Structure 1
Amino acid sequence: MKIPLVDLKGQYQEISKEIDKAVQKVLVSGRYIQGPQVAQFEKNFAKYCHAKYCVGVSSGTEALTVALRVLGIGRGDEVITVPNTFTATAEAIILVGATPVFMDVDSKTFNMNPKLLDRVITKKTKAVIPVHLHGNPVDMDGIFKVIKNKKIAIIEDAAQAHGAKYKGRMIGSLGSDFTCFSFYPAKNLGGMGDAGAIVTNNRYYDQKIRLLIDHGRTNHFDHVSIGTTARLDTIQAAVLSIKLKLLDKWNKSRRKWANYYREKLSNKFQFEEETVGGESVYHVLAILTQQRDKLAEFLRSYGIEVGIHYPKNLHLQPAYKYLGYKKGDFKVAESFAERTLSLPLFPHITKDQVDYVISNIKKYFKIR
């Protein structure tokens, strides 16, 4: 049996007729940039997130970068985030000229630890970017409590958290300045290419974002500020609107099979714990083991594709060496990176497939 880590082909097969029809409609229209499907998706996704405004952008990286630019963050400023995330989180900070400041994470959820946040805040701190790792919400009340009465913005990195909830509220509606999403194809809500979105409840921010992502123009030839090209393509918007209708169904399936994995394996292995009050959408389900690399090799030999999210913390990556961090600075995050292994999980996975993965994990450890 061969089991993929994700199954985008299977997802497409479920909705191929709708996708093909929607894409064909865009192709025939000739409106490939800022076609009506973009505004419709923005309206749909804002409503889904229980937010006032949504602006579609070209990627999750651009979502973060544009959000930072709207806030005027740049050279001499610091932005706090975590080291156990995809490089785009810190990359965006650097692209606007600011400095990323890393902090360690919680030992159970492996998300940003609010209890440690105050220790890294300085006079230069202009924003905090909590990352909802693997679709599990950060303890946002803890973050808000620390930031309260400080002139520090909050930008949620929700690249993996489409549809996740915190204390009954949808991610995107919690009151942060911005919530940034990626629609990379493998995400819970993914396009058929790169795409992203920024959600906010601030009308001024919404207007500023729209200027920045379209060369700072108010019409085709009048430019009131310096911007860039970071628009959401019409075809991606059309695809995303179709998939959005199925997101809750797909997330429910992810939770079902994630809980099944836990039920069968948690007595022997550690998993990330869901945040108190949080409802994860399990973009990734990670098992933690000291024998990660050998187990991964063993599972692959049986046709089981696994992943590692992420094998090396950002503060130990060559690109961030200039920041001066060293191994041992963030012990919890580093331990997580050394032990984490992502198991196959996608909405269309079957019980036979999950049981096959579980049985081979047990076989490796000789568990009965």
Structure 2
Amino acid sequence: METVLPIRKIIHVDMDAFYASVEQLDNPDLRGKPIAVGGSSARGVVSAASYEARKYGVRSAMSGVLARKLCPELIFVRTNFERYKEVSAIIRKVFFEYTDLVEPLSLDEAYLDVTENKKGNPSATLIAKEIREKIKEKTGLNASAGISINKFIAKVASDINKPNGQKTVPPEEVLDFLESLDIKKFYGVGKVMKEKMYRHGIYTGKDLKSKSFEYLQENFGKSGSYYYSIVRGIHTSKVKPERTRKSLAAERTFSKNISSELFMLERLEDIATEVEKRLKKSKVAGKTITLKIKYSDFTLKTRSKTLPLYISSKELILDNVKDLLFQEKMKNSVRLLGISLSNLNNEDKKRPKPKEDTSIDVQLKLDF
């Protein structure tokens, strides 16, 4: 049995080194130089890096100290979120000139469904080109784009010709594109999952596609059915103008490393208070609670548990976080603690898992 999925025209627009590019735009002295947005102090973390800095290996979420070692000439600039939001608002106005189906992922990226659009243009490729040109005209900044039949492929494609480029994967090329793709290029496959895939002999999309539905479920749990689908071009998530929040979190980075669990509990109480405040503001509760721990050597660990009932109160959050904290003995001092609640009571019902014989019909030719 063959499942014929609707072919949509999805664009993923991703601004190039957004925070850093805004800083270089506003300060001509920074143009062409390696800059990092974020803290340069011993506790500072890079929020974004210019392409000049990336050549040295500087990346977001990296410590300011390490970034400086990699690039001694690195210029640190303080974050200015009000300015970034201002520029982001201009970019989103451009998006809405073409479609109302805009799903922002952050200040610097969004999905657009242009299957039917305000310009009556049948070519998603030409629309993406127009949008990028208009963003450049109105803000002076470069954007990259990916264009394809669903959000997953569009997201992967937007990274192919960065910076200041775009990549279209039309329906008839989807399966070949996914098979030839390095597994680490698959959106959602991070460092840990990449290594796990490698251990199973999965290095490309073709390798992934060769594994059966049962094999992927057995070895990758709930993610198995997801990987089985996406490598076959199946990703049914629609562009949602109002995104449903999937988790809510708060965290703190400390000025000095903490080694005492008593001090950790004090900090966690403050964090739990903030999480409770955010839950009440969003009018949600969650079942899955996660404790995030970043050690002084920058090793990041998470510990989670799923409860039978939804919770939102600080007291219940803290009680469960204590269990997670004492799950195992701390082996190092801690620089960051965080608490998140997911599996919220605003989520849609789970979609049924795909059957093994599910496939995508790519015979339909559309003007992409």
> What's the TM-score bracket when you normalise by the shorter of the two chains?
under 0.3
Q: TM-score, normalised by structure 2?
A: 0.24
Q: TM-score, normalised by structure 1?
A: 0.24
Higher relative contact order (CA 8 A, sep 6+): 1
Question: By percentage of residues, which structure has more strand?
Answer: 2
Question: By percentage of residues, which structure has more helix?
Answer: 1
